[in-house]
Amino acid sequence: MELQAVLMAAGGGSRMTDLTYNTPKAMLPVGNKPLIWYPLNLLERVGFEEVIVITTKEVQKMMSTDPKVKVDVKMKLDVVCIQEDADMGTADALRHIQQKIKTDILVVSCDLITDVALHEVVDLFRAHNATLAMLMSKAHEFTETVPGQKGKKKTAEQRDFVGVDQSGQRLLFMANEADLEDGLSIRKSVIRKHPRMHIKTGLVDAHLYCLKKAVVDFLSENKSISSIRGELVPYLVRKQFSKTTNSEKIKDDCEDQTQKKSDKLFISSRDEPLLQRAQELSCWNDHRGDMSEAYHGGKLRCYVHIMEQGLCCRVNTLAAYIEANRLAPKLFEEPAVHPSSVISERCQMGSDSIIGALCQVADKTSIKRSTIGNSTTVKEKVKVANSIIMHGVTIEEGCNIQGSVICSNAVIGRGADLKYCLVGNGQRIEPEASDTLTFMYCVKTLHIY
């Protein structure tokens, strides 16, 4: 077997608590499908037959009852539950399932929505015998107004500095702004080997990693690493150029113990000398201009595939969630209106709206650029624009909803006028309410006129 897929679905959605305080992130509806459906669909399309899903008990229960996950996903899902309060990082989760892992792994996060050609990432992993191959994408500015946020000012996102070589594929440097104190410091050994480096900041990490099995074994011995993205990846990128990997001196026994841990990362095949010989006989080199052999003789290599075009979205903030709802329907070809819903003829529906199953939309409504979830009732003379309405919502007559997110089972009273609001689960908006840019999710509703 070549690769095993691991889907990380235990995340809490810490950056969008307004949405996730009731529904776990993995089950948030995006385009009327649960968020976890998207990476599962990606893996299935590409040809995986089995996926190990690491998640919480709650999500597991919801997954087993959700028709989308049960019916649409034909792969065998091996669900591993971890405690919600254990505060496990992604690397800790990998350590937890180390026994199940028999070969190289492909780690995907549940909040990734993308249409990338996965073979481009995996080809880098295969062709160069890499230890790590990851996917990144050019970030897009979010243009929609986010409900609940007054003004356009976003909190300063911590930037990621990613250094790649001239070909744009080899990963030379990775650091987050939070870890850098004064400035960017790049080791001399890196510059000596790769004098031309492109440093990019506008990239989104898709959290899709191909890792060698040796890395998982390494993790099981180094228990200090708890996050793949935050600690493991920068560690591997740094280790490519560390002195010990490239020196071939014979080490004595006392150093052997520490070396053995990291040496495990370097052995790529049982017939290492034969592979080495094939590389020596080959007249190919990955760089020009200095006297070193291919890959500078380094055995640990990290590669990145940077997507220029196409959709790659990580749904971990509210703005990303709204953006995803806008873009995700383009990924699949289901009819915009579910056949089981009842739409009256005098309803004006835009072509980029989606209506879920078992909905009832009455006369004289206008629905533009919106997503309406399953079992929602929309009464007469309602205007819905640029909004996301989740499942089981009831919208009474004469409402005007713009740019808002209405969570499941909410009830919007008659004549309410909501602009850029976020209504939490099961909330009731009183009739004739008029709100702009508010959150309504606590038990006591806030009215701001």
Partner 1 sequence: MADSGVTDGPEKKEDIERAKNEGKELSKEEKQRLRKEKKQQKKSKEKKDEKEKEKEKKSGGSTATAPQAQPSTQKAPPAVPAPVSNSVPASEPAIPADKPTKSKAELKAERRARQEAERATKQTKKGEPGQQSATGKPKAPPSELQPVVKRLPEHVQVDDPDVLKKLAKKLERQQIPLRSDYGYKVSLFSHLHQYSRKAPPTQQLSIPSTVIHPAIVRLGLQYSQGIVAGSNARSVALLHAFKQVIRDYTTPPNEELSRDLVNKLKPYISFLNQCRPLSASMGNAIKYIKKEISNIPSQCKEEEAKSKLLNNIEWYINEKIILAAKAIAVSSIEKISDGDVILVYGCSSLVNHILCEAFDKQRKFRVIVVDSRPRLEGREALRRLVQKGISCTYVLISAVSYILPEVSKVFLGAHALLANGYVMSRVGTSQIALVAKAFNVPVLVCCETYKFCERVQTDSFVSNELDDPDDLIVTRKGKTQLASWQQVASLGLLNLVYDVTPPDFVDLVITDLGMIPCTSVPVVLRVKNVDQ
Tell me, rounded to whole angstroms, the distance of Cα 176 from its chain centroid: 17
* Rounded least distance, CB 78 to partner 1, Å: 15
What SS3 state is found at 338?
coil
Site for partner 1 in 80-109 (CB under 8 A): 106
* Rounded least distance, CB 50 to partner 1, Å: 10
Q: 304 pairs with which residues across the strands? A: 134
> What is the C-alpha to C-alpha distance for residues 298 and 275, in angstroms, rounded to an integer?
14
For residue 129, state whether it binds partner 1 (rule: CB under 8 A).
yes
369-388 core/surface letters (b: 16 or more CB in 10 A; e: else): bbbbbbbbbbbbbbbbbbbb
* Rounded least distance, CB 42 to partner 1, Å: 11
What SS3 state is found at 427?
coil
Smaller CB separation from partner 1, 128 or 187: 128
Smaller CB separation from partner 1, 92 or 286: 286
Smaller CB separation from partner 1, 129 or 425: 129
Among 123, 231, 263, 397, binds partner 1 (CB under 8 A): 123
Instruction: Count Cβ atoms within 10 A of the Cβ of residue 12 and give its class: 0-12 exposed, 13-18 middle, 19 or more buried.
Output: middle
- ∠ Cα 86 90 94 (to 5°): 95
What SS3 state is found at 418?
strand
Among 86, 127, 184, 342, binds partner 1 (CB under 8 A): 127
For residue 47, state whether it binds partner 1 (rule: CB under 8 A).
yes
- What does the DSSP assignment read for 55-76? E-HHHHHHHHH-HIIIII--SE
* Rounded least distance, CB 331 to partner 1, Å: 18
Among 11, 30, 37, 48, binds partner 1 (CB under 8 A): 48
What SS3 state is found at 274?
helix
**Contact 62/70 with Cβ under 8 angstroms?**
no
For residue 271, state whether it binds partner 1 (rule: CB under 8 A).
yes
For residue 1, state whether it binds partner 1 (rule: CB under 8 A).
yes
* Rounded least distance, CB 246 to partner 1, Å: 16
For residue 195, state whether it binds partner 1 (rule: CB under 8 A).
no
Smaller CB separation from partner 1, 100 or 261: 100
Name 211's Cβ contacts closer than 8 Å, sequence gap at least 6. 104, 105, 106, 107, 131, 132
Smaller CB separation from partner 1, 198 or 447: 198
* Rounded least distance, CB 47 to partner 1, Å: 3
Smaller CB separation from partner 1, 3 or 347: 3
For residue 263, state whether it binds partner 1 (rule: CB under 8 A).
no
Name 393's Cβ contacts closer than 8 Å, sequence gap at least 6. 372, 373, 376, 377, 406, 407, 408, 409, 410, 411, 412
Smaller CB separation from partner 1, 303 or 321: 303
Tell me, rounded to whole angstroms, the distance of Cα 354 from its chain centroid: 23
* Rounded least distance, CB 1 to partner 1, Å: 6
Question: First and final CA of the chain: distance in angstroms?
Answer: 61
Would you state the structure tokens that stand for residue 305, as one six-digit string? 């595939």
Encoded one letter per residue, x for contact with partner 1 by CB under 8 A and - for no contact, window 273-312 reads -xx-xxxxxxxxx--x--x---------------------
* Rounded least distance, CB 204 to partner 1, Å: 22
* Rounded least distance, CB 271 to partner 1, Å: 6
- Whether the CA torsion 288, 293, 298, 299 is positive or negative: it is positive
Smaller CB separation from partner 1, 61 or 277: 277
Interface segment toward partner 1; rule CB under 8 A; list 58-66, 264-272, 333-341, 347-355: 264-272
Q: Which residues bind partner 1 (CB under 8 A)?
A: 1-4, 46-49, 106, 117-119, 122-123, 126-129, 269-271, 274-275, 277-285, 288, 291
